[in-house]
Amino acid sequence: MRYRNASRELVFRLWVIPEVYLVGETIARDSMRFLQQQLRIIDPEPKKWDEFNNLTAIAGFISRGTHSKNLKLQYKMACELITILRKEYHF
């Protein structure tokens, strides 16, 4: 959460967020070109953009690891449930 929050704070200093983001509308693939045209950079400083890249990369790495761990736990629980159901209902 720390890395994700830090990258969010940096985002507000790097570019102007289009109104589409503020109202929470779903972004379709067809509208991506429109959004790219709407983005306005506030600060073109390369070091800040590198910092943003680092923050989002580490946040993604951590999220993927956590997600993988959760999926493995869910798989284990599902296997245990199947075993219980087979035993209880003689499958």
CB 4 within 8 A of CB 60: no
Q: State which amino acid sits at residue 27.
A: I
Tell me how far apart the terminal alpha carbons of the chain are, to the nearest angstrom.
44
What are the tens digits of pLDDT across the range 53-63? 999 899 889 88
Per-residue confidence (pLDDT) for residue 38, from 0 to 100: 65
Q: Quick one: 77 exposed, middle or buried, by C-beta within 10 A (0-12, 13-18, 19+)?
A: exposed
**E strands, 4-91, where?**
15-16, 40-41
Per-residue confidence (pLDDT) for residue 9, from 0 to 100: 87
Q: State which amino acid sits at residue 35.
A: L
Specify the pTM: 0.55
What are the tens digits of pLDDT across the range 61-89? 988 888 899 999 999 999 999 999 999 99
Look-up of token digits 């929050």: 5
